[in-house]
Amino acid sequence: MSSSLNQPKAIITGASRGIGKATSLAFAQAGIDVALVSRSLDQLESVAQTAREQGVKAKAYEIDLSQLSEIPAKIQEIVADFDGVDIIVNNAGMGYTNLLRETSLSDWQRVIDLNLTSVFQCVQGVLPQMRDRSQGIIINVASIAATQPFAGWGAYCVSKAGLVSFSKVLAAEERSHGIRVVTILPGAVNTPIWDTETVQADFDRTAMLKPELVAQTILQAALLPAEAVMEEITILPSAGTL
């Protein structure tokens, strides 16, 4: 279904599963057109089809965010395809556990590249048109690991702390241009990140946040009137940090 010109439009990275998938569907239910970004095209297409059933425009874009130099141009192509975007949710990232002394330089760089530098590049892709329109909201999904040290999670903690700092500087630079920046700091969320080969952890996943709850928080931040911004939101499972 084609959307109206007044319908909000969002880019969501890491949209094939977990928080990204839940956010894509929550946005669609709220009447927001969604451009879905991930490396997993088949999974993305499934999410896009479900989103379209809500009556919004939803398209899948297969982009490898580890290919940093290609990101801004590809994001700009999405912006052009959607005739501008109002929101970007930078959710894509990876988990990684290892003691700092045992972390290889290549592993360190991989975590920093995906969790921090790819967000920088995505933002560079959307900022020109947001500035031209004097409006936009950039939502960066960090983690409580940005502010709390967890042994064995060094590279991950540093990447998320960097993302929080990046968000604060970006907000300071862009608020005069009508652009708002939100940082979401979830506690542990029950997503497929715990099943990846780079994460070795044994937690009670039933006590974690559900992706849908984090998605609702992201949606609320996105729908706040332009006169206000929730710059930093920490959301924890009621059982506390794991």
Catalytic residues: 156
Contacts of 208 (CB under 8 A, 6+ apart): 187, 188, 189, 190, 237, 242
Query: CA end-to-end span of the chain, whole Å?
Result: 43
Structure token digits, residue 9: 């439009």
SS3 for 109?
Answer: helix
- Residue 194 CA to residue 15 CA, distance in Å, equals 17
Burial 109-120 (b: 16+ CB within 10 A, else e): ebbbbbbbbbbb
Contacts of 5 (CB under 8 A, 6+ apart): none
Structure token digits, residue 226: 């332009």
- Residue 140 CA to residue 218 CA, distance in Å, equals 9
Residue 87 near residue 186 (C-beta atoms within 8 A) = no
- Residue 144 CA to residue 146 CA, distance in Å, equals 5
Helix (H) or strand (E) holding 42: helix 41-52
Structure token digits, residue 176: 């005069």
